Amino acid sequence: MASILRSGPQPFHVVYCGPDEATPLSRDALDGAALYGQPGGGDDLDAAWRAMRSFAPVLTEWVRNGGRYVGICMGGYLAGSDPGFGLFAGDSDEYIAEPGAAVHTTGDALVTVTWRDKPATIYFQDGPGFTLKKGAKAQVLARYSNGGIAALVAESGQGRVGLCGPHPEAPPSWYTDSGFVVPSPMPYPLAHDLIATTIARRLALPSAPRPFAVPTVPPRR
């Protein structure tokens, strides 16, 4: 995530924050930031929440007062509410548990999504899908093949969150280490799109929900 933030059309100066860093995850630190990034990592949401819940009050207050949060994979799970920061009007859950999911393993995988009406194959490792409550102010950027939400940007009070289940920021080594063919071109522009939409002055909200087709699949045996 740091590499993507540094390399985009609007490069960021990245500062690592947390209990083992020189900069604490505090309101003073956040007030000097344009964006907070919560990357992926680990495969246990409860353990990740135990590590992060002490920071929840300051982080959620900062976002709802106008801050920007980008979460990928575990960062997307943590933006949900069961457990999580509860940053948007909806929730996150395992994509692989969704009806019609194209991936059924918690290990390394590739997933094909439709991102702004164009197909893209992206590195994936048990990332979340997202649901939105009726009337939620959000822009869906990408959907999985079963129609579930793979990436979105949603309003959070006066702030905004950008969330993604797959890993568009994954470097080539993630693909080759798993025995996958490296995409050409790499899906880095999708990660940049997620970030740019999150920090944009205005969020393009649909006037009505966009229809989508859910493929019929046989039951798993």
CA distances from 88 to 40, 100, 122, 160 (A): 18, 25, 24, 8
Whole-angstrom distance, CA of residue 221 vs CA of residue 219: 6
Write down the pLDDT at residue 220. Answer: 33
Q: What number of other Cβ atoms are within 10 A of residue 195's Cβ?
A: 25
Whole-angstrom distance, CA of residue 181 vs CA of residue 94: 25
Q: What is the mean pLDDT of each run of 10 residues along the chain (221 residues)?
A: 93 94 95 95 92 96 98 98 96 97 96 97 98 96 98 97 98 97 96 96 65 36 30
Write down the pLDDT at residue 33. Answer: 96
Write down the pLDDT at residue 210. Answer: 43
Write down the pLDDT at residue 218. Answer: 35
> CA torsion angle for 9, 150, 1, 29 (degrees, to 10)?
90
Whole-angstrom distance, CA of residue 193 vs CA of residue 189: 6
Write down the pLDDT at residue 43. Answer: 87
Write down the pLDDT at residue 175. Answer: 98
Write down the domain spans for the chain: 2-199
**pTM for the predicted model, two decimal places:** 0.91
Write down the pLDDT at residue 201. Answer: 81
Q: Which CATH architecture has domain 2-199?
A: 3-Layer(aba) Sandwich (3.40)
